[in-house]
């Protein structure tokens, strides 16, 4: 079964789908990284040169409100965005290059659940961003 696109999920959740929102959703969904608002605007303007920054902000806010995108703070002063999917992952940020590496570690996931249980909680969600530099001192090219 094919996963629904961000645009399909937004429409199914009741969001108003304008031509501008279509362009923004497609640009975000095609991103292989975690763009900030300015990066997303530049990418979306490749399809719609007249697109406004306000439209990008409004669309991202609507998608956040529908829990269709994650807004990340990776410590660089810029909010970064990512389409939400069912596959959970965490992030490692290279403090030299700014590269964001996604990873999934089953042992870490189990540890987080054990910690929550030990404290009397059932884990409903979490966000984890690790910050570091390559052990060999050489940053990877983003």
Residues 97 and 43 in one domain: no
What are the b/e assignments for 28-41, b being 16+ CB within 10 Å? Answer: beebeebbbeebbb
| pTM of the entire predicted model | 0.78
Q: Does 90 belong to an annotated binding site? A: yes
**Structure confidence at residue 68 (pLDDT):** 93
Owning domain of residue 14 = 6-83
Query: Which residue in 70, 102, 98, 81 sits closest to 37, CA to CA?
Result: 81
- pLDDT of 6-17, one tens digit each? 888 998 998 899
Do 35 and 59 fall into the same domain? yes
Residue linked to tokens 């910050």: 131
Q: Is the domain of 17 the same as that of 53?
A: yes
The residue-averaged pLDDT of 111-133 equals: 92
CATH code at position 102: 3.30.1490.190
**Could you read off the pLDDT of 60-100 as tens digits, one per residue?**
999 999 999 999 988 888 999 999 887 788 999 999 988 89
Under DSSP, is residue 10 helix (H, G, I), strand (E, B) or coil? helix
Q: How confident is the model at residue 3 (pLDDT cuts 50, 70, 90)?
A: low
Question: What pLDDT score was predicted for residue 140?
Answer: 60
Tell me whether residue 94 is annotated as binding. Answer: no
Q: What are phi and psi of 123, to 5 degrees?
A: -70, 125
């Amino acid at each position: 079964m094919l996963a629904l696109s961000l645009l399909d999920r937004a429409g199914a959740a009741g969001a108003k789908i304008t031509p501008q929102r279509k362009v923004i959703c497609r640009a975000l969904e095609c991103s292989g990284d975690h763009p900030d608002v300015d990066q997303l605007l530049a990418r979306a303007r490749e399809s719609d040169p007249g697109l406004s920054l306000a439209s990008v902000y409004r669309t991202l806010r609507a998608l956040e409100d529908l829990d269709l995108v994650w807004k990340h703070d990776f410590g660089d002063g810029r909010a970064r965005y990512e389409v939400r999917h069912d596959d959970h992952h965490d992030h490692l940020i290279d403090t030299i290059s700014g590269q964001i590496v996604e990873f999934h570690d089953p042992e870490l996931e189990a540890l987080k659940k054990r910690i929550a249980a030990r404290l009397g909680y059932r884990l409903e969600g979490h966000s984890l961003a690790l910050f570091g530099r390559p052990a060999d001192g050489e940053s990877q090219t983003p």
